[in-house]
Amino acid sequence: DYILKIHHRNIRSHGPELLHLLDKVCNVHGDRHPELYKIRTLFHDSLESLYSHLDKEELILFPYIYEMFKAREEHKHLPDFHCGSIEAPISVMLSEHEAEGERFQHINRLTQNYTVPKDACNSYRLAFDRLKSFEKALHQHIHLENNIVFPRAIEMEKELRK
């Protein structure tokens, strides 16, 4: 619930706002700082991938996790999962997490760790600050799923299948 209510909601709301801000910064500073166009493209591509990723979690993976919890609480048989094992969609999620981590490493290099140039306006500074915050929140989101939710879900499924 926390991941859905905090992380997914924030990506869906803050992502488009940040993309709009990056558009504005590119229009004003792009001629002098052409790396901004690449940063904007990488972020745009990230949002596209993240929206698809969030949909898969919200429509496939998380509902099954909720079903597992319900089956455990009610001491019922675990229903069949159309993906076979929960490990199948989790492996896709892990791969997508890795790809986003690599994409943000590229953004980090292009921004020189979110360092704004001397001629940066307030919008430029704000864009880099929000981009840095977005990356930090994304890493927290990925950590929660990779290291807490996914391993526990795999273990729960194994226990329920015994």
Locate the domains of the chain by residue range. 2-161
Query: Whole-angstrom Cα distance, residue 41 to residue 56?
Result: 23
Contact 138, 100 (CB under 8 A): yes
pLDDT tens figures, 43-71? 999 999 999 999 999 999 999 999 999 99
Query: Whole-angstrom Cα distance, residue 134 to residue 128?
Result: 10
Contact 3, 144 (CB under 8 A): yes
Residue 146: closest CA among 96, 81, 78, 102: 96
Query: Whole-angstrom Cα distance, residue 100 to residue 71?
Result: 33
CB atoms within 10 A of CB 22: 24
Q: What is the pTM of this model?
A: 0.93
pLDDT tens figures, 71-112? 999 999 888 898 889 999 999 999 999 999 999 999 999 999
